[in-house]
Structure 1
Amino acid sequence: MSASRKLRLGPLSRTESVKPTTMCPARLKADLDRYAALHGQAYGETVDAATLIPYMLEAIMVWDRGFKKGDPK
């Protein structure tokens, strides 16, 4: 993959964090690891899957029209 390829999840911002624990299928973990490798190539910063997961979840919530419509804000 070309390092110039744009991924939906762009460069990572720095934010305050909490550490939840979760389980996922091995196949999903392998995909997350592969995504992390591609993200590192695209943006020149090595990250692991655990670092990307909160950003991915946040992006899903931002992009999810059904969630936004149900948001009482």
Structure 2
Amino acid sequence: MGEVSLKIGPLPDRTPQKLAVLVDPLLAADLEDYARIHSEIHGVEVSASALVPLMLETFLASDTGFRKARKA
């Protein structure tokens, strides 16, 4: 799939922890699409549920307001 770049690279080796999250149908579809594209780019089948923790880590790491409030 061409020269497409995603913020999340290949998944690191991790022991998964179970977490149940309910999302609306549009978000579920977006997550499935992201997982499909990620799988195509990196050549390794990955589920949306495997990507969600990394997406959350990436989001929290980039949220400067959160980091500042946490230090306060």
Short-chain TM bin: 0.7 to 0.9
**Separation (CA, whole Å) in 2 of partners of 1:59 and 1:14:** 17
Runs of 4+ in 1 over 6 A off after TM superposition: none
What residue is the counterpart of 1:21 in the other structure?
A: 20
Amino acid at match of 2:6: L
Q: Provide the TM-score with structure 1 as the length reference.
A: 0.87
Q: Which has the higher contact order (CA 8 A, sep 6+)?
A: 1
Question: Corresponding residue for 1:48?
Answer: 47
Alignment of 1:1-73 (within 5 A): 2-72=1-71
Give the secondary-structure state (helix, strand or coil) at the position aligned to 1:45. coil
Give 3-state SS (helix, strand or coil) of 2:59's partner. Answer: helix
Q: Which ranges in structure 1 are unaligned for 5 or more consecutive residues?
A: none
Cα distance in 2 for partners of 1:22, 1:28 equals 12
Q: What CA RMSD, in Å, does the superposition of the two structures yield over aligned residues?
A: 1.6
TM-score by length of 2: 0.88
Residue-by-residue CA offset, 1:2-52 (whole Å, 9 max, x unaligned): 343110111111223321111000111011000000001111111011111
**Percent of aligned positions that are identical:** 33
